[in-house]
Amino acid sequence: MRTTCIAFLVGALAVVPSIDGGIVEPETTVPLIQDVDVLVIGGTCGAVAAAEGAAQSGAKVFLATPGLCLGEDVAGTLRVWAEPDEIGSSDLMGRLFAPAGQEVAPATSRIYTTPLRVKKALDTTLLKAGVRFLTGAYATDVLSDASGLPAGAVLCDRSGRQAVRAKVIIDATARGRLARLAGAEFTPFPGGAYSVSRVVIAGSAPECGGTVTRHDEWRPDKDVVQLSSKTTITPGLYECVFPLPFADGGPRAFAEAEQAARDRTFTATQLDAADRVCFIPPDHVKSASPCAKERATADELNLGALRPAGIGGVYVLGPLADVPRPLAAELARPGFAIRVGARLGRQAAADAKSRTITGEIRRAGREGHGAAADVREVRGTLTQPFVAATGTIPCEARELPVLDEVDVIVAGGGTTGAPAAIGATRHGLRTVVVEQLHELGGVQTAGMICGYYYGNRRGFTTEIDEGVAATGKVKSQSKAEWYRRTIREGKGSIWFGSMVVGAWLEGTRLRGVIVATPDGTRGVIRAKAVIDASGNADVAAAAGEPTEFYHPEELIGQGVGMAVIRLGAGGHNNDFALIDDTDASDLCFFGLRTRLMTEGGWDVSQLVNSRERRRLVGVFQVSALDYLTARTFPDTIIQHRSRFDLHGSPSHDFFYTKNIRTANHVTLEANGPYRSLLPKTTDGLLVVGLGMSATRDAMAIMRMQPDLQNQGYAAACAVQLALARGCELRDIPVRELQRQLVDKGILPESVLGEEDSYPLPDAVLKLASHDVMMGYGGLPFLFADPQRAKPLLLAKYEELSTHSSGRDPEVSLIYAHVLAMLGDPVGVDELIAWVATHGWDDKWPADSGARVNRMESYVLALGRAGSTKAVPAILAKGQELCDGKKSVSASRCRALGLASVTLGDPALAGMLASLLDQPGIAGHAIRLADPIPPVPGYDSRSNYSQQEKMEVAREVNLAAALYRLGDHDGKARAILDAYAEDPRGFCANYARRILLDPAGRGTSPR
Ligand SMILES: Cc1cc2nc3c(=O)[nH]c(=O)nc-3n(C[C@H](O)[C@H](O)[C@H](O)COP(=O)(O)OP(=O)(O)OC[C@H]3O[C@@H](n4cnc5c(N)ncnc54)[C@H](O)[C@@H]3O)c2cc1C
């Protein structure tokens, strides 16, 4: 092993111990998103105070933090107390510790707050100061100007990489990496044991092998605790102090130390625990004005001790300052840090005034060894409010350090990833899990969706459930711990607070992933195989595999939530927004908005609970019609089971025809083929969980936790088979994998004899074309193979006239309807006649089992049939809504909008414009401003709030349809422009797509 120097500006040593053979990343460019006076990196209280101080002094400020929320030094460490002398030290301290709307009275003893109050106070401080900020963004590189001086940073997040140009950088991160990259010299970090403290909230004291102090004064409010009547836990706040070994100051050593700290502090009654240990590092920056005093007030501290020697335009804020370690400990306290931060912010603003950035800025490179590697990045979007500059910044070729080398990387340690990692370690594979959060389990732990909804509870899932039950009393905590402990027992490594941000390929073979670690290191982990369990197909997308998320035809998505955490609660399931998980700013804004709306509770989850995310379009894409026709496969590895649990509208026209088979009370089974985890071209990769290759309608059945847990385990078995045989993942003997899964109890024996039941036999289609006349029986089979179904349906349609009793009009209408949905206009006259003579409220007979509105379905079918004969009828139907006598409901607008676009007749534009003019239909775009408008109907104990989702989708979809038809007096353009600047990335990105490409794929029927 050697130490790779990755600092480049003045060649200082950075603390990234690297495995031999770093790879050379070729030159590239990154988009410039901000051009500011002061860039603050990190989300501590001091960092926020610095940003506020600089902004109040007239500087333009941007703050970026790798954390998913602000306040890592208090909320992240759970050191949620302040001493009496700290409380009055600043207004911000008062806000951090005061319940909403209350002042903190002068205190004589410690005072306690909650993580949520801390986060909200910091959020509000930045909002009020006009400081834009981005969470989940790692600052991994320094920019330099023509004279070689620091001039900003490169951020790395879910949206890819972006540059921020800045005259002054305040590095408030735990390891001061940006300062190091800028050339700052630091004292060494000698490997050894250091005293750390970790806070645990539990019913009993953890046995940490050190000192444990119970804070007897801590009395949680009633509203922050939600224990079930069966759980007898009296919550206590325990501060555990113990020595912890650190091999060195690099990210791997820190990742290991965080795990060792958890090993020592978990207790079966745990209700919450710190994300990170509190630790005063032995190393510090070398400044030209070190502070020699062990004690000083925040106002006395010489700011020169925060300024690296010989480098202008950079400060470190926090315990890495050039101060004696007792004073460094003061700098870790919020009261002290806020006062110093505010002073530093003012100083930085003044520095910025006198600084001019000279010439072009760039990220300087460094000679690497060997040829340029094929490094590909995760790419997404950033919404306009977060982007205030244009242009691109060149990044020269450079070497990326290799941080680790393993058999398998699991990207994302959530519902599917944690079981995958356990499966891999059980097979003896050297495994590393890279997880952005600070715990394992994803939606089912951090996201507080702690209970199963259907799924087959067997196989590895049974083992998980038994292990979790034996681990602790509170499911969200004990599940995360059981996963963690079991991976550790198998010698797996876990990197918390780290994000997979790219892929490294050789030809079509994945050689590893690019990772951003909490200290801002961007490096490579080499692996023989990667399991992409990000639930967002992050690795696959980075590798260039086709993926899908937005439906091209309309803005449609499943409801997203964010749990409000109460200590001991069994879960919190909610649904009130629409989110694009590939957009870092959307995730940031959603977290911010949810926290600000939430009153009461202990905390708000750091995980956005999205039910639908970016999905691979892999070797095989499972569709809803596969399970609706009970399709079997030769390579089934999981049998998924659920009710149709789509939190939103489905996409496939089948569901809008009559939808007789998917009533919510019916439990459906879906076979999951191995090929739906395999990308089309990239070798060495499997994609599991919500990112697997299945349509959004299919995922409504396939995404249940018990099944995804088994799927993760199955993916690990597949990797083991491939590595043992020395073959590619796509070439493994699948029957052998199935056999293992049968033995594990994941699959029934019967799958071993199954083959693909498609193509559907002629007899099945023939029967379906007959059965359809009886209440739409056999419909899924017809939709599953429309090319072969259409001639059969047409023959039946013709045949109706030959019946001795004459042509049955209801049956004829069924055929006309189904054929129209499949794009055949043969029966449009009948449909038009029905539409013209019936109202929006005329339904199918009550006992028909229909789950869609008859008129809406016929209107859509008229559009799909593509006959312009239908235009007058559709115009008339739209007019009925504009007359104000009928509700302008979202589903009616959907049918009219889609039909209008597929018919493509500009005459329909006026009708769509009139719909947009109806009261309450338009004007729902919002802006990123203080105060942020709350989601209508949201309350912290509620589960569902549908109004905003419905209003936004209806308005955007009507506007998109109108725009595609050529617009009407610029109405659609104005609406789409407004949404394009909306901080809610999901609608902003869709609006931008339509504006860029109105004809798009969206005009063609599915
Ligand atoms: C609100 C809601 C309610 C639900 N209700 C139920 C229910 O009641 N019962 C049920 O069985 N199912 C339910 N589901 C479905 C089920 O919980 C999900 O389908 C499942 O948890 C998704 O698992 P996953 O592994 O794909 O994603 P996750 O569990 O989200 O795991 C993905 C993990 O990867 C991490 N990650 C993502 N990207 C990266 C990256 N680039 N680098 C590093 N880490 C990364 C994330 O932090 C996360 O931990 C619900 C889902 C939601 C959202």
Gap from CA of 223 to ligand 1 centroid (Å):
27
Chain-centroid distance of CA 967 in Å reads: 34
Q: What separation in Å is there between the alpha carbon of 610 and the centre of ligand 1?
A: 7
Q: Whose CA is nearest to atom 37 of ligand 1?
A: 534
CA dist., res. 698 & res. 695, Å (int):
5
346 pocket-lining for ligand 1 (C-beta < 6 Å): no
515 sits in which H/E element: strand 509-516
Q: Quick check: CB of 522 below 6 Å from ligand 1?
A: no
Residue 937's SS3 state is coil
**772 CB within 6 A, ligand 1:** no
Q: Does ligand 1 have an atom closer than 6 angstroms to the CB of 703?
A: yes
- Pocket probe for ligand 1: among 443, 448, 609, the residue whose CB has the most ligand atoms within 8 Å is 443
Ligand 1 contact, 715 CB (< 6 A): no
Predicted pLDDT of residue 77: 98
CA 498 – CA 323 distance, rounded (Å): 29
Length of the chain: 1006
Kindly state if the Cβ of 642 falls inside 6 Å of ligand 1.
no
pLDDT at 365: 78
Displacement of CA 743 from its chain's centroid (Å): 34
Cβ of 647 below 6 Å from ligand 1:
no
pLDDT at 883: 87
Which pLDDT score, from 0 to 100, does residue 478 have? 98
Does residue 650 have its Cβ closer than 6 Å to ligand 1? no
Ligand 1 neighbourhood includes 497 CB (under 6 angstroms): no
Mutate to test the pocket of ligand 1, among 437, 449, 513, 583 (most ligand atoms within 8 A of CB): 449
* CA nearest ligand 1 atom 52, residue: 611
The pair phi, psi for residue 27, each rounded to 5°, is -65, 150
C-alpha of residue 859 to centroid of ligand 1, in Å: 37
In the numeric block, which tokens belong to residue 163? 């540059």
Tokens of 160: 């890819």
CA of 35 to the centre of ligand 1 (A): 35
Q: Is the CB–ligand 1 distance for residue 202 below 6 Å?
A: no
Beta-bridge partners for 531: 410, 686
Residues 272, 241: contact at Cβ < 8 Å?
Answer: no
pLDDT computed for residue 24 by the predictor: 92
- Given a contact cutoff of 8 angstroms between Cβ atoms, the answer to whether 78 and 201 are in contact is yes
3-class SS at 107?
A: coil
Q: Average pLDDT of each block of 10 consecutive residues along the chain (1006 residues)?
A: 30 45 89 97 98 98 98 98 91 89 79 97 97 98 95 97 98 97 97 97 96 96 87 93 96 96 98 97 97 95 97 96 97 97 98 95 76 89 92 94 96 98 98 98 98 96 98 97 98 98 97 97 97 98 97 94 96 96 97 96 98 98 96 98 90 90 74 98 98 96 97 98 98 98 98 98 98 94 98 97 91 98 98 96 83 94 97 96 91 97 95 97 95 93 90 97 97 98 96 88 39
Cα(608) to centroid(ligand 1), Å: 9
- CB of 455 within 6 A of ligand 1: the answer is yes
DSSP conformation class of 225:
B
Q: How remote is the CA of residue 672 from the centroid of ligand 1, in Å?
A: 18
Could you tell me if 177 and 553 are in contact, meaning their C-beta atoms sit under 8 angstroms apart?
no
Contacts of 686 (CB under 8 A, 6+ apart): 529, 530, 531, 532, 677, 678, 715, 718, 719, 729
* Å from CA of 607 to ligand 1 middle: 9
Ligand 1 center to residue 478 CA distance, Å? 17
Q: Is the CB of 601 under 6 A from ligand 1?
A: no
| Ligand 1 neighbourhood includes 443 CB (under 6 angstroms) | yes
What pLDDT is recorded for position 364?
Answer: 83
pLDDT at 104: 75
Query: Does residue 539's CB lie within 6 angstroms of at least one atom of ligand 1?
Result: no
